[in-house]
Amino acid sequence: MTRTPSGNTRPIEATIRTDFRGAMDYGSYLGLDEILSAQHPVSDPAHHDELLFIIQHQTTELWLKLVVHELRAVRQYLDGDDLSRALKGLARVKHIQRTITEQWSVLATLTPSEYAEFRDTLGQASGFQSHQYRAVEFLLGNKNAAMLQVFRDKPAVHDQLALLLSEPTVYDAFLHLLARRGHAVPQDVLDRDVTQAWTERPELVTVFKTIYEHPHDHWELYAACEDLVDIEDAFQLWRFRHLRTVQRTIGFKTGTGGSSGVGFLKKALDLTFFPELISVRTEIDGPLGG
């Protein structure tokens, strides 16, 4: 007996649109023609694994674009005393960080032998040249004017980073919010030169100690502090996974952009965004102290 194939087929419902002449469809809305044709392997003939390498970095850049978008909004919400909206933005950033950190596991499937077969074709191209990564660092407090030199041949990018260099960070905005809510943030901290990288201010540990020892009196601020710590931890985890992926792929070779490679990446692990939020943990008194 002949059986009619139906169990493994899903009929198209009559209400589903199939004619998109003159109308916007999924692909055009997302610009998929441009996105899916933006992978251009430079190895000749194209090495099978170069597509993985390109897509890994392109998707990370897309997520970084969203991180920059969200952190700008978080800073704006903090400036406007809308802490609840700021917390929502920080929560979203944390989820993005988790996603881009896990992506390293995909790139880690690229073996040293496979990468060596097309690495030389990359020339001087390097993740060190990611302006969006620098934008995230600037927004969180790792300001470094010397980094602008890398982008001097790209005026639009250079100007974007120069603007972020001159603007307050997310942490600056948070500290100003604390001051407006009556916390004793020193005036010279509020008036600091925001073009400079953040350095730890011990006076702030006392401010955060009050919040951490009385969380129910300062619940939203307490939650914001912990969200910032989460952001820092996630960023450091991303840096560490980057380092380990590079090490397992090229060992201790120099980077394509001219850096010392793994050694240079290790130095980034010493950078911090919100040091007082770590230092305060040593000072907290109460039940959690044991």
Could you tell me if 23 and 94 are in contact, meaning their C-beta atoms sit under 8 angstroms apart?
no
Confirm whether residue 151 is marked as ligand binding: no
54 in a known ligand binding site: yes
Cα 139 to Cα 119: distance, rounded to the nearest angstrom: 32
115 annotated as a binding-site residue: yes
- Residue length, the chain? 290
C-alpha 68/C-alpha 77 separation (Å) is 14
Q: Rounded to whole angstroms, how far apart are CA atoms 213 and 201?
A: 19
35 is in an annotated binding site: no
Which residues have CB under 8 Å from 179's CB, separation 6+?
Answer: 185, 190
| Distance, CA of 3 to chain centre | 54
Angstrom distance (rounded) from CA 50 to CA 175:
45
Residue 55 counted as an annotated binding residue: yes
User: Annotation-wise, does 16 bind a ligand?
Assistant: no
274 is in an annotated binding site: no
Q: Please give the annotated binding residues for heme, written as ranges.
A: 242
Known binding residues for substrate? 53-57, 115, 119, 256
* Binding site as annotated, residues: 53-57, 115, 119, 242, 256
